[in-house]
Structure 1
Amino acid sequence: MPDGCTIIAHGPEVFDTGEIVTVSEALLPKEVIVAGVMARTAAEESGFPCRFNARPPSLVVRHLPPGADAWLLNRGKTPASGEEFGRIVASRSDRPLCHIECSSRTVYGWNGADPCRTREAARRLGFEAVFMTADRRAGHGNTREIRGCRPGEPVFTNGIVIGHATADTAVLAPENGGILAVSGIILKDHGIEKLLRKGPVDLSRAWCKSGPVRSQAAHVAERRSPVGHIAVIDHAACDIYAQVNPGTCGVISIGDDTTAVCGHICAHLGIPVFGVTDGDADTVVDHSCCEGSVIVEVTEGRDDEKGLEIAGTIPPAPCHWDCWVSSTLRSRPDIRIVRDAR
């Protein structure tokens, strides 16, 4: 019986749709662990009791105690992308894996998962049980396929938009320390530049996805105290929860897509953002933000350099967010306000 299993819930959709409640009532898990930044936001907004883990799902599985019964819960954008996600997680895990894929109403038993438990879970949920083997890495030789794309939507690698899909499968390959578009994608030079800023990327192990990071609007919380420390998020919105704490009064976010994601998450936390952008945003999430937020666009140069210059003016001691924002706006002729929520 699946009772007493550990569910690793991935993505915000299983919380936004309420499927986490349906699955938990059917399987009676011992614990629910949330993997993913936007999934954490959706989980916190839902009020569902769970534990948060910043690692990717495959590493969450690897770090479970020996003998723990791991169940992956996901709602892919399409059934094909949901199956591929399960295949990737299973191929990187060190134990059999049961995968509940809500997009196709399927319970996958990967790599020798117990057939009785898999079929029983499918019966309780009214899903189909399917058994598969994931005996390969995410990449095929020197290429990486990102399946389940929709033409025109953004494609992410390690949380950064690197291009736009032109087919249902985007294929990438490494090239001279960079990334080559093989097929199904038009690369975004600035995105590749940002991705490679931290060093070479192993495409076979990178986190890749396509489409918006969340389809539901954020729940905007009451603003917290305007006095405290200011955090900086530079083109890495996935770091947001590691950077903010109860003493954070505001966040400087550098980059268009980073600002959109930080604004969404910080709205839920009651934290205003000062977003530094240069106008190359993709539609990755709704542009929610908390009271006290200001989004600016640079009028010369790039958001990368200007954002770090602005971040360099943050005082080391606690400060008043509104005073810092007003002072910054007065002293920077190279930016213009594009959104003001003060």
Structure 2
Amino acid sequence: MEIGVVVHGPEIVDSGMAKKVIGILEESGNVDSVMAGTIGKTAVLDAHLEDVIDIRKNLKPSICIEEFFRTKDAVILLNHGKTTENGVLFANIVISRIHSRTVKPLIHIERPGMPDGRIIPWNTDSLEFAKTLADKLELEITDIPELVTPISVEDHGHRVIRQVYGVHQGEKIMINGIIVGFARSEDIRIISKDGFITDIEGARVKEHGLEKLHGYERRVPVDLRTCWVKSGPLRGNQFSVRNKDTAFKHTSDEDDHHPDADGRIKVVIIDHEAERSFELVEGAQAAVTIGDDTTEIAGDILYRLSIPIIGITDGDIDGFSHMKHIYPGSTVIRLRPETDDVIGKEIREQLFDGKSSVYLDSFDILRNKIFTIAKKYTLFRTDY
């Protein structure tokens, strides 16, 4: 049997169950596994499982499932949500986005190793294999669920409402890695009109976060039906960070042979796009990160890749509940309040010529150029 496994999130890796479940699946055939989710990739690196779980792709879980449907005999969605109910709702969102859930056996394994863990078959062709896995993993098996999506579309597509489940009061609410609110209740509904968030019911809205999400004056719309929405911490603290001396090498042949790259370093800019860090730093030796939360998340990710950063921050940080690491040699610059986006724009225009990457002679030259641009708003800097 050819089995495709879509692994989602860091918790299933940090618990040790991703490795265990994949090992059990290998008793039934050949297994190919892929991680869907940026923070989950850091967990794979910390667990030294990059040869077991592919972290090079940047695909949503639904797309991973569709790809495996074309090449595999069965597909497994492996997740560890805050609760089983929350995990099943997550699976609902994922499976509602695929063309058909009956193409191949499709099984969801939720919270294995936990008392409330479950095996959930998503079509009749999954039942036999699901029973086998339930026995091996000592988990209860559920009936085939009805497909219910927590996303409603009104006014001929102009208005979208997304219910966010499993939220606890006081938790941060993030869209595409940007904090946009703080939960005041467990009943959270995000509402958008023509791609722009108009309200977050049940939460205190962080207006500056919404401005960042929509690209300020660029007015970038967001599709609530497909964007990444998360509440609570990005990752727990029950893990050991990977030693920087055994970093994963994230390069490509194309970048290694770039005609401008001889003796120079490739620098990328990560501007409020922390969730795309792995994709953006392909072949890079350094990064400039714009924004407090972006610097914290991207810096933590790039530590595993041995990539130093120049972080541009202004104190507008809400703090993520997981251990943060910054690669030695990096510098984080603290600016006057509400100026990181101003300097970020100047850096992109003056240093990157409006592009996403640039080649420079050295990291010191990069640092000096950034210092010059940011000087007028700089309060202090921290060297790592």
Question: Fold conserved (TM > 0.5)?
Answer: yes
Match of residue 109 from structure 2: 100
Alignment of 1:275-290 (within 5 A): 275-284=311-320, 285-290=322-327
> Residue 336 in 1 paired to residue 379 in 2?
yes
Q: Aligned-pair RMSD on alpha carbons?
A: 2.5
Instruction: Specify the alignment match of 1:162 in structure 2.
Output: 180
Could you say if the C-alpha distance between residues 140 and 317 of structure 1 is closer, same or farther in structure 2, counting changes exceeding 3 Å?
closer
Conserved? CA contact 2:191–2:199, under 8 Å: yes
Q: Distance in 1 between matches of 2:270 and 2:93?
A: 28
Distance 1:74 1:187, change over 3 A: same
| Distance in 2 of aligned mates of 1:51 and 1:18 | 16
The Cα offsets for residues 61-117 of structure 1, whole Å up to 9 and x where unpaired, read as 112216631110011123332121112112222224311111631111124452121
Q: Which runs of structure 2 are paired with 1:23-42 in the superposition (5 Å)?
A: 23-28=21-26, 30-42=31-43
Does 2:292 correspond to 1:256? yes
Return the letter of the residue paired with 1:54: N
Greater CA drift, 231-240 or 140-149: 140-149
* Aligned match of 2:8: 10
Mapped partners of 2:86, 2:291: distance in 1: 27
- Where does residue 131 of structure 1 map in the other structure? 143
Structure 1 gaps, min length 5: none
Query: Would the alpha carbon gap of residues 59 and 177 (structure 1) be closer, same or farther in structure 2, given more than 3 Å must change?
Result: closer
CA 177–91 in structure 1, closer or farther in 2 if over 3 Å, else same: closer
Matches of 2:310 and 2:85, distance apart in 1: 38
Cα separation, 1, equivalents of 2:18 and 2:179? 28
* Partner residue, 1:91: 96
How many residues are matched? 337
CA contact (8 A) 1:12 1:214 kept: yes
2:48 and 2:190 map into 1 onto residues whose CA distance is 39
- Cα displacement string for residues 40-65 of structure 1 (whole angstroms, at most 9, x for unaligned residues): 22212322222232111011111221
Q: TM-score, normalised by structure 1?
A: 0.89
TM-score, scaled to structure 2: 0.80
Asked whether the 8 Å contact 1:34–1:51 carries over to 2, the reply is: yes
2: CA distance, partners of 1:267 / 1:227: 21
Letter in 1 for 2:231: S
Deviations 1:111-134 (A, max 9, x none): 445212112111110111112334
Write the distance in 1 (CA, Å) between the matches of 2:22 and 2:58. Answer: 21
Counterpart Cα distance in 1 of 2:127 and 2:194: 45
Contact 2:264/2:359 (<8 A) preserved: no
Distance 2:380 2:73 in 1: 52
**Alignment CA distance shift 1:311-1:321 (3 Å):** farther
Q: Does 1:46 pair with 2:47? A: yes
How far residue 313 of structure 1 moved from its aligned partner, in angstroms, is 4.5
- Structure 1 residues 177-326: aligned runs within 5 Å: 177-197=195-215, 199-216=220-237, 218-222=241-245, 228-246=265-283, 248-284=284-320, 285-299=322-336, 301-314=338-351, 316-326=358-368
CA-CA distance at 1:148 after TM superposition: 0.7
Identity %: 28
1:9 aligned counterpart, secondary structure: strand
Q: Is the 1:267–1:289 contact (alpha carbons within 8 Å) kept by the matching residues of 2?
A: yes
Q: Distance in 2 between matches of 1:324 and 1:154?
A: 34
